[in-house]
Every structure is written in C-alpha cells, then in structure tokens.
Amino acid sequence: MGIVLGPNRYGKAEVRVVRVTRDGGIHRIKDLNVGIALSGDMDEVHLSGDNAAVLTTDAQKNTVFAFAKKHGVGEIEEFALLLARHFVDSQPTIHHARVEIEEYGWDRVPVEDGPPGERHSFVRSGAETRTCLVHSDGTGGEESVVSGLTDLVVLNSTGSEFHGFIKDEYTTLAETDDRILATAVTARWRHRGLDADWATSYRQARKSLLDAFAGTHSLSLQQTLYAMGRRVLTEDPEVCEVRLVMPNRHHFAVDLSPFGLDNPNEVFFAADRPYGLIEGTVLDDEAPGSNSAWK
C-alpha cells in the first residue's frame, strides 16, 4: 500500500476585526469575522517539517488588521478579494487562497441630546449575519465569489399547509391546511463574475428571499425554498446558483380543551428541537458549474 499526502490547506480562523471610520463626529462601523485558508507548495511542511514555504498564520492575522487600516473596509466581497489576491500574489509558494467573511451589522442609535453632529452610538442590527466566500488563484487567475446570509428568521402566521404525505405505521402527524411556517434561513448565492455591485446585489437578494417567503402560499417548506431561490435568480441575472438551508421551526397548536377553552390556531407551543431540516439548490442550468466555489 502506498501512502501519500492528499489535498491540504492551512490558515487563520475567526480573525475578529472592527474598523471605525471617523468623519468628524459621525462614525461608521464595519464588524467582521475573517477566515483564511491557503494552499500551494506545502508538501515538505507535512512530510519533513520544513517550514520554508509557510506564511505564518500570525502574519495572515496581521495582514487583515493592516489592510483594514490601509485600504479601509467597504463591501466584504471586495475586502475578501483584496486579501485573497494579496496572499497569492505576494508569496510564490502559495497558489490558492480561500477567504470567508461574516459581517455583523450595526445601526446608529438616534441621539436627541449631545453636541450636534456627533453620531457614535450603535446597536446591533437584526439577527442575520451577512457572509461571503472568495476563492482566488491570484490576480488574473481563476476566482469565484459566493455571497450570502445566515439566521434570517422569518415566520408566516398563516398561508401554509401540509398534507398528502406518506403515512406508515409510525406516522402520527396530522394533516393541516392552516399552520405557522417559520424558519431561520441560511442562503448563499454564486455570482457569474466579479464585477457585481456587491451592496446592491446583497440588498436585492435579501429582498427577493423575503418577498418570495411572504408571497408564496406554501404547501411544503420545500416548495417555499424553491420559490425563494428562483426569485433570487429571476431578480438578479448576475447570480447563477442559490443554495438554501432552512430548518422547519415547528409551532404546534396547544390543546386547551382540558381547560374548557377553544384554540382556533391562536396559541402555539414553539418547539426548538427536534426539527425538520430542508436543504436545496436552485440554479441556472446553463451556468458554468463550479462546485469548488462553495468549499
């Protein structure tokens, strides 16, 4: 039996960087969690412990901080591409960089008191987190961008049914033509190219997801998932593939009959586990395939 070294990569995980931009008394915040993974001529560091090809993970971390200062932080896709290209372009032993970023949003707190023109108080905005995943072989090489979000919590209090499913000896779930449909959406979408207006694209994709969720009379969460992915593709032709993960956050109507009370779908028990987990991909079947973009 021959034993060989297979695919490998290394990097720095969860580099937390907060960039404050000061415009007089008005401040702006970018709050990021950056993950880096590099690959290339790394055989010897595994086989013999020779570190000559290794850019330290500490240097990778410091690059994030230095670039946040030197270049600022605009859209996370731009910042990720900037970092990925730098690692490949600057080090001959590094051939590929993977950079993944989570962005935590902050909204400015309205201030009635205090000096005019001072705006430096913030509150975390929303539950969802914006994400991106960039792969780069360096400037002029193959590159890909996947944008997305996690924990977009949504709920329809009606307009959802579930019936006609398989019934075997273990089935106890009753059919229903009126139920709560709730989920926490994780969505990622792959771009055809690298010239997108990232901010506009993100806002449009988020809006498309919400519009489709609200506008679909659902016979299953799978049907809603497909409608959401289809809406993103329809509204933004620069997006060619959408992948969605949607847990079914079950809400069960409580039996209030022991207390002499009716419950026409007004009082529910929100069960956090176990839960159904629905996953799916919606794509343009003419778009070039790129499974590596998601990894």
How does pLDDT run across 8-52, given as a tens digit for each residue? 999 999 999 999 998 888 899 999 999 999 999 999 999 999 999
Whole-number Cα distances in Å, 131 to 16, 85, 142, 206, 222: 14, 19, 21, 12, 23
Given the residues 61, 86, 191, 250, the one annotated as active site = 250
3-class DSSP assignment, residue 173: coil
Domains of the chain, by residue range, sit at 8-141, 149-288
Alpha-carbon span 58 to 65, nearest angstrom:
11
How does pLDDT run across 50-92, given as a tens digit for each residue? 999 999 999 999 999 999 999 999 999 999 999 999 999 999 9
How does pLDDT run across 202-213, given as a tens digit for each residue? 999 999 999 999
- Superfamily grouping for domain 8-141: Urate Oxidase; (3.10.270.10)
Which pLDDT value is given to residue 114?
A: 58
135 catalytic, yes or no?
no
Residue 253 parent element (H or E): strand 251-253
120 catalytic, yes or no?
no
250 catalytic, yes or no?
yes
Whole-number Cα distances in Å, 110 to 19, 70, 120, 169: 21, 30, 10, 58
Which residues are registered as beta bridge partners of 136? 97, 143
Given the residues 12, 30, 61, 191, the one annotated as active site = 12
- The CATH number assigned to the domain with range 149-288 reads 3.10.270.10
Closest CA to 55 of 21, 80, 83, 16: 83
Do domains 8-141 and 149-288 share one topology? The answer is yes
Which pLDDT value is given to residue 213?
A: 95
Which pLDDT value is given to residue 143?
A: 96
Which pLDDT value is given to residue 255?
A: 93
Given the residues 27, 57, 71, 251, the one annotated as active site = 57
3-class DSSP assignment, residue 76: helix
How does pLDDT run across 213-243, given as a tens digit for each residue? 999 999 999 999 999 999 999 999 999 999 9
3-class DSSP assignment, residue 213: helix
User: Residues 6 or more apart from 241 whose CB is under 8 A from it?
Assistant: 189, 190, 281, 282, 283, 284, 287
Beta carbons of 281 and 223 less than 8 angstroms apart: no
Render the burial of 257-273: b for 16+ CB within 10 Å, e for the rest. Answer: eeeeeeeeeeebeeeee
Average pLDDT, the chain: 94
Which pLDDT value is given to residue 22?
A: 87
How does pLDDT run across 257-287, given as a tens digit for each residue? 999 999 999 999 999 899 999 999 999 988 8
